């Protein structure tokens, strides 16, 4: 073990012991290594980001620009896949009609070869009906993950999982789970 690491360990042990004897709270300072600056976004990441965010800002043309004609999308909780640009447009419009002020924000992305993994958060007010769920006027925040596969610069497949249960709890459609 290096001298510096051993010295840091001894200092931490002494601080913890002193705090325990005094009956006080323990505050530990930890030095963190600097994270490397993130690399510039790849072209694939930028395309997927635009596809996920821009429809929620009113740019529906982005679907024609960035979605392949043979698109297939799977979403957690949905038994049948979304097929084609029109199928994706229809699914997104249903949520945009129910949450007209909704905004989806990309939080993180990782790209490898022809795939892009995206972590996102969506926020909006439930101001319109969604299937059998009547508008409640409640604000909702959900998070999700989408894995996109691209061919020729267009998204041709996506797998999405998101907090559908959380949305239903937030709009009051089902009761919040009891705390353990």
Domains of the chain, by residue range, sit at: 1-32, 43-170
- Bridging pattern class, strands 103-112 and 82-83: unpaired
**pLDDT by residue (tens digit) across 92-121?**
999 999 999 999 999 999 999 999 999 999
Q: How many beta carbons lie within 10 A of that of residue 160, not counting itself?
A: 19
At residue 21, the pLDDT reads 42
* pTM of the predicted structure, to 2 decimals: 0.76
The string of pLDDT tens digits covering residues 16-54 is 444 444 444 444 444 544 445 567 789 999 999 999 999
Q: Which of 19-23, 55-59, 69-73, 160-164 has the lowest mean pLDDT?
A: 19-23
Q: Classify domain 43-170 at the CATH topology level.
A: Nuclear Transport Factor 2; Chain: A, (3.10.450)
Helices and strands, counts by H and E, the chain: 5, 6
């Amino acid at each position: 073990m290096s001298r510096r690491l051993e010295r840091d360990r001894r200092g931490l042990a002494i601080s913890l012991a002193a705090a325990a004897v005094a009956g006080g709270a323990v505050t530990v300072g930890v030095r963190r290594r600097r994270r490397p600056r993130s690399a510039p976004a790849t072209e694939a990441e930028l395309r997927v980001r635009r596809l996920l965010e821009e429809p929620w800002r009113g740019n529906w043309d982005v679907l024609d620009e960035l979605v392949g004609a043979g698109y297939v999308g799977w979403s957690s909780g949905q038994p049948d896949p979304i097929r084609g640009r029109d199928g994706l447009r229809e699914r997104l419009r249903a949520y945009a009609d129910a949450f007209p002020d909704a905004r989806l924000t990309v939080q993180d992305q990782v790209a490898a070869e022809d795939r892009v993994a995206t972590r996102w958060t969506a926020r909006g007010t439930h101001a319109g009906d969604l299937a059998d769920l009547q508008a409640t006027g409640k604000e909702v925040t959900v998070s999700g993950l989408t894995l996109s596969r691209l061919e020729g610069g267009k998204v041709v497949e996506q797998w999405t999982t998101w907090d559908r249960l959380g949305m239903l709890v937030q709009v009051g459609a089902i009761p919040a789970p009891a705390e353990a």
